[in-house]
Structures are given as structure tokens and as C-alpha cells.
Structure 1
Amino acid sequence: MSRKVVISKTAQKKLENLFEYLITEWSLKVKKEFVEKLDSSIEIIKTQPEIFPESKKGKKLRRCVITKQTTLYYRFNSKRINVVTIFDTRQHPNKLDPEL
């Protein structure tokens, strides 16, 4: 079963900032490669949301590592995937808590 993906405002803002960073500091090619990894991960989440491990950070919260620097946190039910946030793993882990 494929579920509808809903991206929170926090996650949307973080993605926009990340895309801008990738284009400015790296290249459009690097951004496209990241988007492909992100899309691929979301497709897996849509069909098999329980495949990624539960996070210790929140109840029924799961985490999907997109790249070694970027982790996607989400919750799901029978109809929806709720993308809670995108986290840059180079930050201090305590910065994640307010976003959840």
C-alpha cells in the first residue's frame, strides 16, 4: 500500500535551505544526486514504512539516513507518511529535540 506523504513546514524549510546550500557550495549536480536519494528513500518509506528503525528521540518516530550528513525523521499510519524534519547530523544532537 502506498501512502500519501505530508511534509511539515519545518522539514520543508530545512529542505529549501539544504538545496540552496548544495547549489551554492557544491553544484547543481550534487543537489540532483541528493534529490534522487531522497526520492528513492521516500518511495521505500511509502510502501514499507516500518523498514527503517524507530528513533529513540520520539514516540513512533522513525529515522531514515539519506546520506551520512542527512537524516529524515517521520511518523506513519495506514494512510499517511508525516515527514517531521530533516536533520543535518553534523549538528549537536540536542538541536534535534525542539524540532520533534
Structure 2
Amino acid sequence: MKKYDVFLSPLAERKLIILLDYLTKEWGVNSKNKYLSKFKNAINQISTHPKSCPESLEMKGLYKCVLTKQSSFYYRIRNDEIEIITFFDNRQDQSKIFKEIKGNLSFS
């Protein structure tokens, strides 16, 4: 079975750092570690089954992976790699997320 390399975009990296810092400050190291465990499981899943998450109707080629009730990330498949584009709060306005994605990436 083919395994894709997974990496974070600069935007996703910034947002993940902010999110992990928030989790640590508000809920403790244990909550941060649980989140990271879910994230690692998701990476393992999409690296072997890249289309296992639903594709966005708004942006073709963008897939949404739900990590928790509160948070998800978008990713895209490019050749033999998967790029995690951004992390976001599921309660956030989706149009703002897509605007942010378009402003930070060349998306084709």
C-alpha cells in the first residue's frame, strides 16, 4: 500500500502552534497530548487513505478531516504528498476559512 508523505503548510504550522499553546494554557498538558494523539492518528489515516475524508464542495481538491467536535483541518493531495493547509474551529465561518486559504496559497 502506498504511503504519502504528510507536511504542514506555513499557515497550518502557525495555527497548530497557537492551538497547542491554547490547549496547554486552558486545559493542561494532558489535553494537548490527547489532541496530538488524535492528530497523529489522522495523519496515519490520510497518509495511507488520502481520500478517506470528505472533499470540500466549495474548493475542489480540498479535504476536511475532523479531529474533535471543536476542531478540524483541511488538506490537499499533491503528487506523492499530502499538505495540511490549515487548522480551524468548527464553529468558525467557513467562508472566512476559504478566504484565508486562498490568501495564503496558490491553489490549483
Which TM-score band applies after superposition, normalised by the shorter structure? Answer: over 0.9
- TM-score, scaled to structure 1: 0.93
Could you tell which deviates more after superposition, 20-29 or 72-81? 72-81
Q: Which amino acid aligns with 2:33?
A: K
Q: Report matched runs for 1:13-52 at 5 Å.
A: 13-52=14-53
C-alpha distance after superposition, 1:2-46 (max 9, x if no partner): 111121111001100000000001110000000000000010000
Distance in structure 2 (CA, Å) of the matches to 1:99 and 1:48 = 26
Say if 2:82 is the partner of 1:86. no
Structure 1: gaps (5+ residues): none
- 1:58 aligns to what SS in structure 2? coil
1:72 Cα deviation after fit: 1.0
1:54 counterpart residue number: 55
With CA pairs under 8 Å and 6+ residues apart, which has the higher RCO, 1 or 2? Answer: 1
| Maintained 8 Å contact 1:10/1:99 | no
- TM-score, scaled to structure 2: 0.87
Length, aligned pairs only: 100
Q: Percent identity?
A: 37
Distance in structure 2 (CA, Å) of the matches to 1:49 and 1:87 = 19
2:66 counterpart residue number: 65
Instruction: Give the 4+ runs in structure 1 shifted more than 2 A.
Output: none
C-alpha distance after superposition, 1:43-91 (max 9, x if no partner): 0000000111101231211111001111110111341001111111122
2:10 counterpart residue number: 9
Distance in structure 1 (CA, Å) of the matches to 2:46 and 2:85 = 13
Structure 2: gaps (5+ residues): 102-108
